[in-house]
Amino acid sequence: MLDLDETTREVLKRFRFDAEAFALLQREVAGGGSWRKSRLAAAVLPPTSADLVTLPPRDSAEGDELARLGMAALARGEVGVVVLAGGMATRFGGVVKAVVEVTPGSSFLRVKLGDIQRMAAHAHAGVAIYLLTSFSTADQVRSAARELIAPGDPLYILEQSVTLRITPAGEVFYDATGKPSLCATGHGDLLPTLRASGALSRFRQAGGRMLLVSNVDNLAASLDARVIGAHCRGGKSVTVEVVRKEPGDRGGVPVRVDGHLQIVEEFRLPEGFDVARVPFFNTNTFVFDADALDRDFPLEWFPVKRRIDGREAIQGERLLGQVTALLPTQFLVVERSGRDGRFLPVKDQDDLQRRLPEILALVEGQSAAAQRPCERSAASI
């Protein structure tokens, strides 16, 4: 039994703390096993050109054809959007990133929602929007969303689960104030959250067939009908967007593991594997078939090291990209920047200032494409 204060217990209860998974991670970290298990022991090879599909330009004949397929799916009400707005609210000085102003009068969340609403209007259909939040971001994101949508708009708040940080010895980590240090559980928690909240069931019952998922800080990952069309044409349960790698990119890469193409985080690659052999990088933008998500996925809990109050802490996270090891996946190569660019992540304030010209151009382009409003659908936050 964990000896925790009442406030911590309330947060753990509200945000679905998994005591069994936490205890398992404690034991593995204390015994050193979790670090050994993280790396793959299987044969890993870079992808071949045949493993990847390139998204055609929007002004090409093939791009137009994919856009028609995607717009038809939107018009039928088959498409929903998930915006990942969880995390710990630490990279912008304790302010929740979703509500940070990126252009005069516009936050990350406003830009993302504006893009979705314009596409919904253009398709004359409702597009259900789901905002995945954490214990650190849920209340602020909910409050901001209420100011950005009209009553009855189909927007829903999802709350991912929470866990406790631990010390390298496997004990509960206490912060500088003497309180247990809480953390979010990673974007892989989207999958069980969609089911546990009932959102996935309701989406499917309403005729929803696919969900576009992207990070709130990747403003270029818009609701593009070409991407939806590419997913429809691909015929796979998952489509994941990848880009050409640039210096400094760290994260998941597409590789073949025992012949199966999937996203693997760099820290899981076998010792001696030269990641430079893989020229592509995972953007964490996906399209999922809703039917394929209605199951339990055995996503692993990975130990992630953090510096908290000047000390080393370890937290358990689940990664969304690991689902590509479990479902048939199409890997879609998209442009990073330019008119067709779909990868413009902003991780902190310095990143925001550096990318501001690109963001301003992006927002201006999105505003120019605005269409007339669409009919509202009933929903609640």
Residue 1 placed within a domain = no
User: In this predicted model, what pLDDT tens digit does every residue of 166-196 receive, in sequence order?
Assistant: 999 999 999 999 999 999 999 999 999 999 9
Q: Which of 218, 200, 184 is nearest to 16 (CA)?
A: 184
120: CATH: 3.90.550.10
pLDDT band at 364 (very low <50, low <70, confident <90, very high): confident
Res 197 pLDDT > 90: yes
Of 14-28, 78-92, 210-224, 356-370, minimum mean pLDDT range: 356-370
Percent of the chain with pLDDT over 90: 81
Rounded CA-CA distance 223/210 in Å is 12
- Residue 2 included in any domain: no
Given a cut of 60, whether residue 1 has pLDDT beyond it is: no
Residue 230, classed as helix, strand or coil, is: helix
pLDDT surpasses 70 at 379:
no
Query: Across residues 112-123, what is the average pLDDT?
Result: 93
Instruction: Please give the pLDDT value at position 369.
Output: 52
Residue 377 belongs to some domain of the structure: no
Is residue 127 over pLDDT 50?
yes
pLDDT in tens, 42-52: 999 999 999 99
Q: What is the pLDDT of residue 368?
A: 60
Q: Rounded CA gap, 311 and 208, in Å?
A: 46
List the single range of 208-217, 317-326, 339-348 with lowest mean pLDDT.
339-348
Tell me what pLDDT residue 94 has.
Answer: 75
380 domain residue, yes or no:
no
pLDDT value of residue 371:
42
Nearest to 122 by CA among 204, 224, 219: 224
* Per-residue pLDDT, 367: 63
In a domain, 197, yes or no: yes
Percentages (nearest 5) of helix, strand, coil residues in the chain:
35, 25, 40
Amino acid at 231: H
For residue 138, pLDDT beyond 70: yes
Under the banding of pLDDT at 50, 70 and 90, the label for residue 33 is: confident
Containing domain of residue 37, as a range? 7-368
For 201-233, the pLDDT digits (tens) are 999 999 999 999 999 999 999 999 999 999 999
Residue 377 above 50 pLDDT?
Answer: no
The confidence score (pLDDT) of residue 375 equals 35
Given this model, what pLDDT does residue 370 score? 46
| Residue reference for tokens 């998974």 | 21
Residue range 27-48: mean pLDDT, rounded? 87
Element (H, E) at 337: none
- Mean pLDDT, the chain, integer: 91
Whether the predicted pLDDT of 301 surpasses 90: yes
- Amino acid identity at 6: E
Whether residue 373 is predicted with pLDDT greater than 60 in this model: the reply is no
- What is the number of structural domains in the chain? 1
Q: Is residue 142 part of a domain?
A: yes
Check whether 361 has a pLDDT greater than 90: no
Does residue 280 form part of some domain? yes
Helix (H) or strand (E) holding 39: none
Query: Is 337 inside any structural domain?
Result: yes
| Cβ neighbours of 260 (radius 10 Å) | 13
Report, in angstroms and rounded to the nearest whole number, the Rg of the chain calculated over CA atoms.
20
Residue 376 is predicted with a pLDDT of: 33
